[in-house]
Structure formats: structure tokens, C-alpha cells
């Protein structure tokens, strides 16, 4: 199954907040309606696991095949499978570009990477799924600009609006170009997605 390209807010209403997919927020009125609807219908355990998997996939913009591959890698790694799965997704280049505020969403960050605007250790990387490592330096190519910064908005103020996760460090280069440093592997506390990753692992338990 390919990536979702339909209405994004429709997914937000169904799966709640998806910070990587869209900036739109789930309103209190819509939350009350969703609670009333969920209380009036029976939800199977399979449906709960499926929604958790869909939330993870849509937030990070992963295809079904890619997500299954990440689950298989996470199962072979040491530690909690669910936590390792989230770490693999968080260390993708498109997600790190998004977390560094160089793009408003992960799809926008993926476009920046595909169009060869992103440098990793001063080398152009055009693969959004590239797995970043500690000590990697992420920067914008000369002549490129963040994909949603207003021309009237001061650059420093813009990048201070978003909280940068603990495993990343943001700064400006000598020519006032934004850049980020990967300090280490992402930890569970720094991940801004409200999800029970164990449900995703349980969903894929029969496929890996």
C-alpha cells in the first residue's frame, strides 16, 4: 500500500492528533463527539491495534511495507521492540528535518530531502528514509530556505517557536544557515506522538 495522499484532517478526526502529518489540531467539540461515538459502539481488540498501527504509519508517512520492515528490525534488536520501532522511525532523515523546524510536516520535509536541499555531514542526501546516526550534522544547502518561513518573520524567532527534542541540538552556522546536530538515539520521552507502540507490535505479531 502506498502513502496516504487524501484529506489529512479526516485522519486527524479519526486518529486524533498527528503532529507529523498536519499542523491542524483536534478541537474540544470534535473530541466530545468522538468520545460519545466511541462509547456507543463496540470496538474489538483487532480494531484497537489496527488504529494504533494506522496512527503510527500516517504520522511518519511510512508505507505498509516499510513499517513491516522496521518491525522486523526492531524484533531482532536488543531492548523493547516497541521502543526500538519508534527510535527507528524517529531517526529517519525526513523526521529529523521536521523536528529541527526546517519543514512544517514530515511530508514537507520529505519533499525537501527528495529535492536535494538537505545536507548530512556536508553531503547531499536525497533519501528520506536515510537513518541518521549520532554526531551527524543536518543542514540546508546554500540557497535553500525552510519550507514555510514567512519572509517577514525573523529567522531566529521562527526556529525558537518549536521545542527541539533532547536528542537534537539546533544552531546557526557562520553564514546564518540553520543546522542541527544529532546528539544520540531518540528516547521515548522526547517523542511527541501519543501512542501505545506495544499495540503496533501486537498487530504485526503474526506477520514477523
The cell for 5 is 495522499
Residue 35 and residue 12 in one domain = yes
Domain containing 130: what range? 93-182
Closest CA to 105 of 201, 191, 172, 8: 8
- For residues 101 and 71, membership in a common domain is answered with no
Sole residue written with cell 470496538: 43
Indicate if 15 and 73 belong to the same structural domain.
Answer: yes
Q: Is residue 188 part of a domain?
A: no
CATH of the domain at 173: 3.10.290.10
Long-range contacts, 151-159 (Cβ 8 Å, 24+): 158/101, 159/101
Q: Domain total for the chain?
A: 2
Give dist(CA 86, CA 191) in Å, integer: 8
pLDDT digits (tens, 9 = 90+) for 112-144: 999 999 999 999 999 999 999 999 999 998 776
pLDDT tens digits, one per residue of 58-110: 889 888 999 999 999 999 998 899 999 999 999 999 999 999 988 888 999 99
Residue 156: pLDDT band by 50, 70, 90 thresholds?
very low
Q: Does 22 share its domain with 78?
A: yes
Do 66 and 112 fall within a single domain?
A: no
Q: Which of 130, 71, 66 is nearest to 97 (CA)?
A: 130
- Report d(CA 32, CA 34) in Å as an integer: 5
Helix residue ranges per DSSP H, 16-80: 28-39, 45-60, 64-76
Burial class from Cβ neighbours inside 10 Å (0-12, 13-18, 19+) for residue 66 reads middle
Residue 187 located in a structural domain: no
Looking at the fold, whether 98 and 84 belong to one and the same domain comes out as no
Other C-beta atoms closer than 10 Å to the C-beta of 208 total 14
Q: List Cβ neighbours of 75 (8 Å cut-off, separation of 6 or more).
A: 81, 201, 208
Q: pLDDT value at position 148?
A: 47
Amino acid at each position: 500500500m502506498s502513502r496516504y495522499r487524501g484529506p489529512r484532517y479526516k485522519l486527524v478526526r479519526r486518529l486524533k492528533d498527528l503532529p507529523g502529518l498536519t499542523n491542524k489540531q483536534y478541537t474540544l467539540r470534535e473530541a466530545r463527539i468522538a468520545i460519545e461515538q466511541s462509547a456507543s459502539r463496540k470496538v474489538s481488540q483487532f480494531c484497537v491495534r489496527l488504529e494504533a498501527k494506522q496512527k503510527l504509519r500516517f504520522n511518519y508517512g511510512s508505507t505498509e511495507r516499510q513499517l513491516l520492515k522496521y518491525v522486523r528490525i526492531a524484533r531482532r534488536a536488543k531492548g523493547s521492540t516497541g521502543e526500538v520501532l519508534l527510535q527507528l522511525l524517529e531517526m529517519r532523515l525526513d523526521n529529523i528535518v521536521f523536528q529541527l523546524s526546517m519543514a512544517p510536516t514530515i511530508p514537507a520535509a520529505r519533499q525537501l530531502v527528495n529535492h536535494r536541499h538537505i545536507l548530512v555531514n556536508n553531503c547531499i542526501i536525497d533519501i528520506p528514509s536515510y537513518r541518521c546516526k549520532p554526531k551527524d550534522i543536518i543542514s540546508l544547502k546554500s540557497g535553500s530556505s525552510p519550507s514555510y518561513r514567512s519572509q517577514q518573520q525573523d529567522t531566529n524567532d521562527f526556529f525558537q517557536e518549536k521545542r527541539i527534542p533532547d536528542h537534537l541540538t539546533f544552531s546557526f552556522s557562520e553564514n546564518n544557515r540553520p543546522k542541527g546536530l544529532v546528539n544520540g538515539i531518540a528516547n521515548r520521552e522526547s517523542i511527541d506522538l501519543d501512542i501505545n507502540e506495544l499495540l503496533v507490535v501486537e498487530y504485526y505479531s503474526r506477520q514477523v
